[in-house]
């Protein structure tokens, strides 16, 4: 499938995103946010929009490199740009008076960094990567548009539903008071940082399994799926051990308030258990994406979080007076549900059937491409 297709879709998605970002202040005020917070958020989003096209291009270029097995290329580019980003943030936010901008400097630095990544990716892709994956832009480039839209919408449902559940949890935590909200911030930052490892593993597993299915290597695809799940559990055990070992001092990394530190220490054992199911859910989601089963992944997340986890957590928090612990119990229950189903779907998967499904999709796309070529040739 030509990279033009996702590029066209992302350009279409820009319009509602820009509309929301440029009207963020009025939207946030409508949601009864603090006026100062709403204003600062709107200023941040307006400047951050300068990096939105670059961010979208980076998503496409990253998949372009990954599909060819060049996983280290985006990492090397980011390693070069990351120090530049840190320096720009320091100069624009706290630097000398002539160049210091203050609050607006942070989104500007981020936007500049995203554009640097885009330029570097384009240069690397054009001059340092074999052009075997290139294809001239023509009507053929858009033959897979319908398939990509269906998979893309399902993928949004799969990933965004999980992100939104955390935002709802944060909103519920804000109703508990200052200390619980501060503790929630510490716990969320911690869980988000540790999640990056299984999330990266899920991306690698998705690309690897997808490539193996395309190569008709069903058995190796299955082995890769099982290996990814085992690795996810191993990584999660490392994070769990870390949280348990340093639970009493963990909060002091970002917050010295005794009440917040005590609350964080009391919930970290639950977060440690949560790591295992979070890792399995992330990796099994990547495996489902490799199989083209984004819809199933979306349904799992929607039912797990919005039917089971969040209502149960809110009930425990406000009806049973469990406080912040209740919210994390609810999310953990949701992840247990999603991970159990994820493992079941991976174990019971018929990998030979998955290969046939890939070949059928390729046959349909090839036929559509041949029809377009025949039409263009007849016109000429």
Summarised one tens digit per residue, pLDDT across range 32-82 is 777 888 899 899 999 999 998 898 888 888 878 877 778 789 989 999 999
Q: Tokens 């892709």 sit at which residue?
A: 125
Residue 356, C-beta contacts closer than 8 angstroms, at least 6 positions apart: none
Q: Are 345 and 229 in contact (CB under 8 A)?
A: no
Q: Which residues of 99-129 are buried (b: 16+ CB within 10 A; e: fewer)?
A: eeeeebbbbbbbbbbbbbbbebbeebbeeee
Which of the listed residues 91, 111, 137 is the one where a domain comes to its end? 137
Per-residue DSSP letter, 168: H
Please give the structure tokens belonging to residue 143. 């033959």
Which of the listed residues 92, 120, 137 is the one where a domain comes to its end? 137
Residues 183 and 214 in one domain: yes
Question: Residue 379 domain-assigned?
Answer: no
Residues 112 and 183 in one domain: no
Residues 95 and 153 in one domain: no
Domain containing 57: what range?
Answer: 1-137
Residue 363 sits at φ, ψ, to 5 deg, of -65, -40
Question: Residue 374 domain-assigned?
Answer: no
What pLDDT, on a 0 to 100 scale, did the predictor assign at position 374?
46
Residues 177 and 122 in one domain: no
Say how far apart CA 197 and CA 201 lie, in whole Å.
Answer: 6
The kind and range of the H/E element at 370 are helix 351-379
DSSP string, 260-299: HHHHHHHHHHHHHHHHHHHHHHHHHHHHHHHTT-HHHHHH
Residues 56 and 108 in one domain: yes
What pLDDT, on a 0 to 100 scale, did the predictor assign at position 361?
72
69: left (phi over 0), alpha (psi -120 to 50) or beta: left
Residues 131 and 148 in one domain: no
pTM: 0.74
Residues 208 and 121 in one domain: no
Residue 272, C-beta contacts closer than 8 angstroms, at least 6 positions apart: 239, 240, 241, 243, 244, 247
Q: Tokens 């799940």 sit at which residue?
A: 229
49: left (phi over 0), alpha (psi -120 to 50) or beta: alpha
List the chain pLDDT tens, one digit each, 380 residues. Answer: 445 555 566 666 677 888 888 888 998 888 777 788 889 989 999 999 999 889 888 888 887 887 777 878 998 999 999 999 999 999 999 988 888 889 899 999 999 999 999 999 999 988 888 877 666 666 655 565 666 666 666 666 667 777 777 878 887 887 888 888 889 989 998 999 999 999 989 988 988 998 899 889 999 999 999 999 999 999 999 999 999 999 999 988 888 889 999 999 999 999 999 899 999 999 999 999 888 888 888 889 889 999 999 999 999 999 999 999 999 999 999 999 999 999 999 889 999 999 988 888 777 666 655 544 444 444 44
Per-residue DSSP letter, 341: H
Say how far apart CA 256 and CA 261 lie, in whole Å.
Answer: 7
Which of the listed residues 80, 104, 137 is the one where a domain comes to its end? 137
DSSP string, 104-124: THHHHHHHHHHHHHHHHHHHH
Q: Work out how many domains the chain is built from and give that number.
A: 2
Say how far apart CA 345 and CA 302 lie, in whole Å.
Answer: 17
Residues 357 and 275 in one domain: yes
Question: Residue 227 domain-assigned?
Answer: yes
Nearest to 62 by CA among 107, 13, 143, 6: 6
Question: Residue 113 domain-assigned?
Answer: yes
Residue 35: Cβ within 10 Å count: 10
Residue 349 sits at φ, ψ, to 5 deg, of -65, 135
Query: Within its chain, how far is the Cα of 179 from the centroid?
Result: 28
Residues 295 and 244 in one domain: yes
pLDDT in tens, 151-169: 666 666 667 777 777 878 8
Query: Within its chain, how far is the Cα of 366 from the centroid?
Result: 31
Please give the structure tokens belonging to residue 229. 């799940």
Residues 111 and 179 in one domain: no
Nearest to 268 by CA among 245, 238, 290, 291: 245
Residues 151 and 292 in one domain: yes
Q: Tokens 């890792």 sit at which residue?
A: 279
Dihedral sign computed on CA atoms, order 295, 163, 167, 334 = positive
């Amino acid at each position: 499938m030509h990279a033009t297709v996702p590029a066209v879709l992302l350009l279409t998605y820009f319009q509602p995103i820009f509309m929301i970002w440029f009207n963020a202040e009025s939207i946030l005020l409508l949601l009864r946010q603090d006026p100062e917070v709403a204003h600062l958020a709107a200023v941040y989003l307006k400047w951050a929009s300068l990096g939105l096209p670059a961010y979208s291009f980076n998503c496409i270029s990253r998949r372009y490199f990954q599909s060819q097995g060049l996983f280290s290329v985006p990492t090397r580019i980011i390693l070069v740009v990351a120090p530049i980003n840190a320096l720009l943030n320091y100069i624009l936010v706290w630097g000398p008076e002539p160049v210091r901008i203050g609050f607006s400097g942070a989104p500007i630095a981020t936007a500049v960094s995203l554009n640097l990544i885009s330029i570097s990716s384009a240069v690397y892709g054009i001059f340092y990567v074999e052009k075997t994956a290139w294809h001239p832009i023509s009507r053929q480039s858009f033959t897979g548009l319908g398939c990509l839209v269906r998979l893309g919408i399902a993928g949004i449902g799969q990933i965004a539903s999980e992100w939104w559940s955390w935002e709802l949890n944060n909103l519920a935590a804000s109703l508990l008071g200052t200390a619980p909200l501060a503790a929630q911030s510490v716990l969320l930052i911690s869980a988000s940082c540790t999640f990056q490892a299984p999330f990266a593993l899920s991306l690698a597993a998705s690309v690897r399994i997808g490539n193996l299915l395309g190569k008709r290597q069903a058995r190796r695809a299955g082995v890769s799926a099982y290996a990814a799940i085992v690795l996810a559990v191993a990584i999660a055990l490392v994070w769990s051990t870390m949280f348990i070992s340093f639970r009493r001092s963990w909060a002091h990394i970002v917050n010295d308030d005794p009440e917040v530190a005590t609350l964080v220490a009391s919930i970290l054992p639950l977060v440690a258990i949560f790591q295992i199911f979070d890792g399995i859910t992330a990796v099994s989601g990547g495996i489902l994406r490799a199989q083209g089963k984004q819809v199933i992944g979306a349904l799992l997340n929607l039912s797990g979080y919005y039917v089971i986890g969040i209502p149960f957590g809110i009930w425990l928090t406000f009806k049973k007076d469990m406080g912040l612990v209740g919210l994390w119990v609810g999310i953990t229950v949701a992840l247990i549900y999603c991970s159990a189903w994820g493992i079941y779907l991976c174990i019971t998967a018929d990998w030979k059937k998955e290969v046939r499904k890939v070949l059928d999709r390729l046959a349909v796309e090839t036929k559509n491409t041949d029809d377009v070529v025949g039409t263009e040739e007849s016109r000429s």
